[in-house]
A and B are shown apart, each in its own frame.
Chain A
Amino acid sequence: MVLKALTANHAVAEAAKLARVKVVSAYPITPQTTIVEKLAEMIEKGEMEAKMVRVESEHSALAATLGAAAAGARAFTATSSHGLLYMHEVLWWTSGARVPVVMAVVTRAIGPPWNIHVEHSDVMDQRDTGWIIGVAQENQEAFDLTLQAFRISEDPRVYLPMIVSLDAFILSHTVAPVDVPSQQEVDAWLPSRRQPYVISPETNVVMGNIADDADYYMMRYSINAAMEAAKKVVEEVDEEYGKAFGRRYGGLVECYNCDDADYIMVLMGSWAGDAKKASDLLREKGYRVGVMRVRFVRPWPREVVQEKLSNRKGVIVFDRSISFGSAGQLFTDVAASLYGSTSIRGVVAGLGGVDVRPEDFMNEVTDFVSHVEEFGRVYEPLRWHLPPKYAKSLAEEVSA
């Protein structure tokens, strides 16, 4: 094992190179830029045999990536925040065409007001587009997920595009140890590209033509069926990756301290590490608390969520995004899967990169526990974990 000190962005670029990506098209946006900068550098130096397609916007970046992928190339792009929103239409074009593509999304807040820090609103805004969405907690996992994404996306049972989500700055710009396998090892593990069809001047394939309503309907049906099939593929790929490279993550979710847990925190992304620390500290105080880290937002791991979370005393979901007028998006998916079988609370925290620490998780959990113990069954979709300076002024207002 050769550990390198890499930012998650550079780790993702290394993974794209090792996957022998042939076409990269992207438009710069903070904090994604250093992924594509690194790829451009590798291509320029001749370390990577690929074509870099420069474009004038993210909409074109994904369109060019889709075009290259439809023509048979393993293609890759990356973006963040506003760039991802600008791509949104082409995300539908890609999944609808059933063309395997891999895209890294460095999750960042959406303006206005302008903010370049971590938040999950951008990636959560893509949940319904028919893309598989995997979420990393660490730099190493961002690397591993990128490699795995090609295998998942190009599996004939799936044939759907995939997003690899990694948190702005906390991962993207933070240097941490990453095991980078050799090209030989990756070649042995990652098969050459497979896709449902290839367009070329010689083949009669039409993309995006008008379809009969019933045919259209059935194509939607088939995307959903592929999503369901992807659940098994994700588990298989996790297992096979573990055999080849020694790292397994648990497939669709990772459960930490869960076995005997009365209460479980549910969340995704880099702050799960802080939640795990909180779980350890809470156990020292006698609270049996676990963490379920959601690794795949789509396909939604309904079955494993039901299996792991039902029959607990309570479930507390932390969202780093919100569906305005409803609640955090993870909360709504978790609550729908549990259909009232356990007490549940949704907490929205850390928007715009507001620091959330192990003690924040501890305070939220102990508050929830006392609430459940006092009232029995609790259903609370939206609680705001305010930033410290506002939490203080609100407390003063209430006491006055």
Chain B
Amino acid sequence: MYMELRFHGRGGQGAVTAATILARAALLEGKWAQAIPEFGAERRGAPVSVYARISDKPIEVHSNVIEPDIVVVLDYELLKVVDVTKGLKEGGTVILNSPVNKSPIPSKYKVYCVNATRIAKELNLVVSGWPTVNTAMVGALAKATGVIGLESAVKAIEEYFSNPTLGKLNAEAAARSYKELEPCSD
């Protein structure tokens, strides 16, 4: 198994944390992983990309991920400004945080939607006015692709947060998202 992933988010939205939690969850399953931030001077609100690799063998390649198998979009509005399927492998998977359970992504890809923003708000996971959707998107990723299981996602999330209450809420976000995720199209 060897998978490359790309996360699209906005600076401050927690895409780096999502990739880090993914890597930790993979590690809990005995897999190897890299979580790679895009190396720029990111500003809050600006579009950012984060990359990850997961494999059942040690990963030595360090060049950029340019042809991902999986794309995760944390912010639906980014679809207007970023070509999220750029380089995406044929038959690749797109996971959208969508408020409308609809997707403008071409149907040649496997597309899944979840309303992670609503889930984050329900759980009061809001920081400086922004719903933190990253942990919900990790749950969605587990459901859509199986690259990690929900159990290890939950464990990795709980371990990530030093505040146990926050850890539990974020784990709940992942679990709800896992349950609610559905295939979607136009």
Chain A positions within 8 Å of B, measured between CB atoms, are: 3-5, 116-117, 137-138, 167-171, 173-177, 270-274, 276-277, 353, 355-358
Contacts and interface: CB of A to CB of B under 8 A. Distances in A.
- Between A137, A168, A174, A270, the greatest number of chain B beta carbons within 10 A of the residue's beta carbon is seen for A174
Given A176-B35, A177-B32, 6 more contacts: A5-B35, A138-B60, A168-B39, A169-B39, A173-B36, A274-B63
Nearest to B37: A173
A270 B32 contact: no
B35 A175 contact: yes
Contacts of A167: 62
B23 A116 contact: no
B25 to A, nearest CB: 9
A300 to B, nearest CB: 25
A5 B39 contact: no
Given A117-B39, A168-B39, A355 B33 contact: no
Contacts of B39: 116-117, 168-169, 173, 353
B67 to A, nearest CB: 11
B62 A273 contact: yes
B41 A116 contact: yes
29 contacts: A4-B27, A5-B20, A5-B33, A116-B41, A168-B39, A169-B37, A170-B62, A171-B62, A174-B35, A174-B36, A175-B19, A175-B24, A175-B33, A175-B36, A176-B33, A176-B34, A177-B32, A177-B33, A270-B62, A273-B59, A273-B61, A274-B63, A276-B60, A277-B61, A353-B39, A355-B64, A356-B63, A358-B61, A358-B63
A28 to B, nearest CB: 15
B107 to A, nearest CB: 30
- Between B20, B27, B39, B64, the greatest number of chain A beta carbons within 10 A of the residue's beta carbon is seen for B39
B32 A174 contact: no
Interface string B27-62: 100001111110101000000000000000001111
Contacts, number: 68
Contacts of B61: 273-274, 277, 358
Given A116-B39, A168-B39, A169-B37, A176 B60 contact: no
Contacts of B37: 169, 173-174
A313 B39 CA distance: 38
3 closest A-B pairs by beta carbon, nearest first, are: A273-B60, A175-B35, A169-B39
A341 B166 CA distance: 64
B140 to A, nearest CB: 20
Given A169-B37, A175-B35, A353-B39, A3 B60 contact: no
Contacts of B27: 3-5, 177
Nearest to A272: B60
B59 A176 contact: yes
A380 B33 CA distance: 38
Contact of A175 (B20, B63, B64): B20
Contacts of A277: 60-61
A148 to B, nearest CB: 20
A9 to B, nearest CB: 12
Nearest to A356: B63
B41 A176 contact: no
Contacts of A5: 20, 23-24, 27, 33, 35
Contacts of B59: 176, 273
A270 B60 CA distance: 8
Contacts of B23: 5, 175-176
Given A5-B24, A116-B39, A116-B41, A175 B62 contact: no
A116 to B, nearest CB: 7
B141 to A, nearest CB: 16
A192 to B, nearest CB: 33
A171 B61 CA distance: 11
A168 B36 CA distance: 12
A245 to B, nearest CB: 16
Given A5-B23, A116-B39, A117-B39, A175 B60 contact: no
A169 B39 CA distance: 6
A271 B63 contact: yes
Contacts of B63: 271, 274, 355-358
A276 B39 CA distance: 24
A335 B38 CA distance: 36
Contact of A271 (B24, B33, B36, B62): B62
A102 to B, nearest CB: 24
Contacts of B32: 176-177
B135 to A, nearest CB: 16
A272 B62 CA distance: 9
A167 B62 CA distance: 10
